[in-house]
Amino acid sequence: MADHPSTFQGTPNESGEHAWEDRAALHHKDDGDGVLDGAKALRRGTFAEMIRHLMLLPENEREKYVIEKSGDREYSAIEATELAARDDFPSGE
């Protein structure tokens, strides 16, 4: 969980291309963001856990959700599916 700014000059720490262990949250795609965005999370965990959870949903339901990764950005269901198919994606076992 290191893709947040360090205390030295506020630059991000390098933790790997996808930082599977970074904090992340599952949100409805159109939940409005805003000041209370953090309270709107449906589920929280690591980035890899949120991808795994999204992959458990029926394919036609996935597009209703996004994964917000701390210190990074939102990932669509399409992006999450592509990441889950990578050889370096952690199995979670």
Domain membership of residue 62 (yes or no) is: yes
Taking the model in full, what pTM does it have?
A: 0.74
Provide the domain limits for residue 43: 37-84
Residue 8 lies in a domain: no
Report the candidate in 71, 57, 1 with the shortest Cα–Cα distance to residue 29: 57
Is pLDDT of 78 > 90?
yes
Q: Is 81 in a helix, a strand, or coil?
A: helix
Does residue 19 sit within a domain?
no
Tokens of 31: 């939940």
Q: pLDDT tens digits, residue range 18-63?
A: 789 999 999 988 766 655 555 678 899 999 999 999 999 999 999 9
* Separation of alpha carbons 4 and 93, rounded Å: 27
* Tally of domains in the chain: 1
Element (H, E) at 43: strand 43-46
Alpha-carbon separation of residue 36 from 10, 33, 39, 40 (angstroms) = 24, 7, 5, 7
Is residue 39 within 8 A of residue 27, CB to CB? The reply is no
